[in-house]
Amino acid sequence: MDKLSGLLAFVKAADLGSFVAAGRALELSASAIGKGVARLEQEMGVRLLQRSTRRIQLTEEGRLFHERCRRILEDLDDAQAMLSHVREAPRGRLRVSAPIVGHHFLLPVIPGFVALYPEVELDINFTDRTVDLIDESIDVAIRSGNLPDSRLVSRPLNPFRLMLCASPGYLARHGTPRVASDLERHATIRFRHPNSGKLLEWPMLRSAPDIEGRLRTVLACNNMEAVLGATLRGLGIACMPDFLAREMLAEGRLAGVLDKELAAGGEFKALWPSSRHLSPKVRVFVDHLCRHLSEQASDRSGAPVAAG
């Protein structure tokens, strides 16, 4: 503890530029602060602070040591805060942002979470807009794709497959594609990313990797639910995540197309601001999603898919 006390006295004195001010902040005498720093300097074998009658200043060695010591003390504070959080019961409002199609996989696991943590009030905003978690005070976001924001940390949730689907009526009228090049003769329905304005790239087609540039688009929209609706109405062939199409495939209202040709998938991630303390409500929510969405993914992997 003597070394820890010396580190604390050194950091506080360096921050405030005065033994007197450091002593006042730590509720110690200026003399105790000075002696603590002196013992630390003797042990380290270097001078950390230059003293004068008016103020103290860091030496070059002291400046380097100060940066490391501050991180050590901050890590110690974090460890203490973590233990404090562990003892707290998760409670309060939890603001979540998720893509519009996210309700297909989120809502089935929400009742279990509410039953376990009745003091947490969930506030979920389903939107395909990329929200700024920090500026908009969002606790957790569910997103897929590249996540370049260094202010966020992420944890993988459930993987999904992108698949091509069409209604049986459309395929009866226009035929079922047997190879990727057949898509050039078909109408397609495309999802447009609301942030970038770019069309969602279709999964890489092994036998025709450049086919996407030759697709004929009859409808593009920025809502995946609308893409599903247009596909059900027989407008053409569309690309969508497997969890969105699963129920319609099981009912025979959609049919998978070129399933063996597809070689791409994706993964949803939970993101939250990289603050130093992870609140109990965020921790238990992310843990719950990871546990139950992985079970959903396992169930999907064993489910048969009707494919053309």
Contact 271, 143 (CB under 8 A): yes
Q: Are residues 233 and 111 in the same domain?
A: yes
- For the entire predicted model, the pTM comes to 0.63
CATH of the domain at 203: 3.40.190.290
Which residue type sits at 128? D
Statement to judge: residues 273 and 299 lie in one domain: yes
Does the structure show a pLDDT above 80 at 98? yes
Q: What is the pLDDT of residue 1?
A: 42
CA distances from 69 to 8, 9, 43, 75 (A): 8, 11, 15, 10
Could you tell me the residue range of the domain that residue 194 belongs to?
Answer: 92-308
Tally of CB atoms within 10 A around 216? 11
Residues 29 and 173 in one domain: no
**Tens of pLDDT along 114-126?**
999 999 999 999 9
Indicate whether 61 and 166 sit together in one domain.
no
Rounded to whole angstroms, how far apart are CA atoms 62 and 53?
A: 19
Same domain as 199, residue 114? yes
d(CA 49, CA 279): 38
- Mean local confidence (pLDDT), 64-85: 75
- Same domain? For 129 and 35 the reply is no
- Tell me: do 139 and 205 sit in the same domain: yes
Q: Which of 67, 87, 107 is the last residue of a domain?
A: 87
Residue finishing a domain among 55, 87, 119: 87
| Per-residue pLDDT at 305 | 44
Lowest-confidence region among 87-96, 145-154, 168-177, 214-223: 145-154
Contacts of 75 (CB under 8 A, 6+ apart): none
Q: Are residues 20 and 114 in the same domain?
A: no
For the chain, the domain total comes to: 2
Token pair, residue 240, equals 């969508």
Domain boundary among 63, 87, 111: 87
For residues 142 and 14, membership in a common domain is answered with no
DSSP string, 185-231: GSEEEEEB-TTT-PBPPPPPBTT-TTGGGG-EEEEEES-HHHHHHHH
Q: Tell me the CATH number at 34.
A: 1.10.10.10
